[in-house]
Structure 1
Amino acid sequence: MSLNTNKSLILNKIKSHYNFKSDAEFARFLEIKPSTLANWYARNSIDYDRLFSKCEGINANWLLSGEGPMLISEIKEQNTFKDVEGITRSEFLLRTDKVMQYNQIIPLYDIHATAGLVTLFKNDKQTPVDYYSIPNLPKVDGAVQITGDSMYPILKSGDIVFYREINNILENIYYGEMYLLDIQNDDDEYTTVKYIQTSERGPEWIKIVSYNSHHSPKDIHLSSVKAAAFIKGSLRLNSMR
């Protein structure tokens, strides 16, 4: 998860790990201007995508929180053990064991500020409002906070969903799964989360279905779907005041 950490400490640990003697040397490694690095220190901010791409093997959870092992290799060492017969975990895995997947840094976008999925997907320079790292989550493109109650109680307004963008919905629909959709219907445009099911009206139509029984299913033509993303996971934040 994303935490309000001391970014200078994180930067200094990375700098020390690579044995850089100066900030200028560190900046060259990151392929940024020394003034940019100085701004990171001054503003307590980090370009997570750049650090994660340039620093091979870094643990995304540590990069976000400053807690735990700095390197993925250190996690693997912690997870390796020997049983009474001397067999290591890496040599023998039970079927119920979970192998750690690639640690992602996931950008959280303000979908309301971007005016929908179409603008978000086309603008690769969109600035994230936050970042998350979720262990064992499949590969995703980003995250957004949803509104509305159409999928309640599975999803409620304010929940965060992690999505994988779909380039061709006609060829890449998995019927019965949950999707993030940008829909244009006459003069109405809206972003919604729905199940997609087959429609009796033909192959160029889909039925969008809510989990909340108070919302009726609706058949829409595929041409009305301006953008779509497959929902890979969700996160609910319950704050205690």
Structure 2
Amino acid sequence: MTDNQSEKISSIQSRIREFTRIKGIDVKTFERNSGLSNGFVSKIGDSIREASFKKILASYPTLNKNWVITGVGSIENESTNIETDTSKKTNRVPFYDGDVTASIVGSFSDIKEDPSFWVDFKPFNDCDALFRVYGDSMYPKYGSGEIVAVKQVFNIESILWGEAYLIISNSEYDNLRTIKTVHPYDKDESKIILRASNPNFKGDTIVKKNAIIGMFLVKGKTRIDHY
């Protein structure tokens, strides 16, 4: 892009959007990679706080800060070139230290609070979030205080039977939010069985598939004992 083309971009927000377009990523990915809250770019006015700029430049060091603020100059620093190879991008995943599942309507983008920090761990980089497990219904598979990484599943027919999922239901099942292993319900294919791993939590929960508004595969777990 030439300097003349850059000058036609009239605001900080639109310049950020132009940068993401050239990088080949959407705004949501830009926000996530930069450690910014969901919807941050849409709220940008005539300025950006220095702390937020530091987060952006840590993830996108080629971005020309002066161009973002003033529209003058090139999009990137003169000594670098914008990398458009998406295979080289860092995909960081938000970690929430509190119990955030109650805030989810259908996906983790519903959460208003900022993540405690962001995780760059390749096996989990395609996940939507990491958060702590509360309660013992899934012990010993997932103990209270352990951290799970979850990835949203959009096709309920692709369920991996016997695996653990975070299930979010509608009001028909009292807005259920729970991690359970999922099993087929042989009597009715339109329903599934949710089952605890802990033998002290007896009894299956049978849920209609069409009552599930969010479903996330638990890809793995980790634990933090000390910060």
Q: Secondary structure at the match of 1:36?
A: coil
Match of 1:179 among 158, 165, 169: 165
Q: In 2 relative to 1, CA 111–173 (structure 1 residues): closer, same or farther, beyond 3 Å?
A: farther
Deviation at 1:186, TM superposition (A): 4.3
Q: Secondary structure at the match of 2:176?
A: strand
Q: In 2 relative to 1, CA 187–104 (structure 1 residues): closer, same or farther, beyond 3 Å?
A: closer
Deviation at 1:162, TM superposition (A): 0.8
Q: Secondary structure at the match of 1:47?
A: helix
Q: In 2 relative to 1, CA 148–120 (structure 1 residues): closer, same or farther, beyond 3 Å?
A: same
2:203 pairs with 1:203: no
2:92 pairs with 1:105: yes
Q: Please report the TM-score for the alignment, with normalisation by the length of structure 2.
A: 0.57
Aligned to 1:39: 51
2:146 pairs with 1:159: yes
What amino acid is aligned across from residue 147 of structure 1 in structure 2? Answer: Y
> How big is each residue's C-alpha offset from its partner over 1:75-104, in whole Å with a ceiling of 9 and x where there is no partner?
xxxxxxxxxxxxxxxxxxxxxxxxxx9864
The 8 Å contact of residues 152 and 216 in structure 2, kept in 1 or not, is answered as yes
Unaligned runs of 5+ in 2: 1-14, 21-43, 63-87
Q: Distance in 1 between matches of 2:200 and 2:137?
A: 8
Q: Distance in 1 between matches of 2:45 and 2:175?
A: 42
Q: Distance in 2 between matches of 1:109 and 1:152?
A: 21
Q: Distance in 1 between matches of 2:103 and 2:133?
A: 11
What amino acid is aligned across from residue 188 of structure 2 in structure 1? Answer: G
Q: Distance in 1 between matches of 2:126 and 2:187?
A: 33
> How big is each residue's C-alpha offset from its partner over 1:29-80, in whole Å with a ceiling of 9 and x where there is no partner?
9889996363358xxxx536x743x358xxxxxxxxxxxxxxxxxxxxxxxx
Provide the alpha-carbon RMSD of the alignment.
3.6
> How big is each residue's C-alpha offset from its partner over 1:162-216, in whole Å with a ceiling of 9 and x where there is no partner?
11112232x2211111101113464623311111111122211111111101222
2:199 pairs with 1:191: no
Q: In 2 relative to 1, CA 117–137 (structure 1 residues): closer, same or farther, beyond 3 Å?
A: same
Match of 2:114 among 117, 127, 130: 127
Aligned to 2:220: 233
> How big is each residue's C-alpha offset from its partner over 1:86-131, in whole Å with a ceiling of 9 and x where there is no partner?
xxxxxxxxxxxxxxx9864211236745634325445387632222
Unaligned runs of 5+ in 1: 1-26, 57-100
Q: In percent, how many aligned pairs have the same letter?
A: 23
Q: More helix by proportion, 1 or 2?
A: 2
The 8 Å contact of residues 103 and 133 in structure 1, kept in 2 or not, is answered as yes
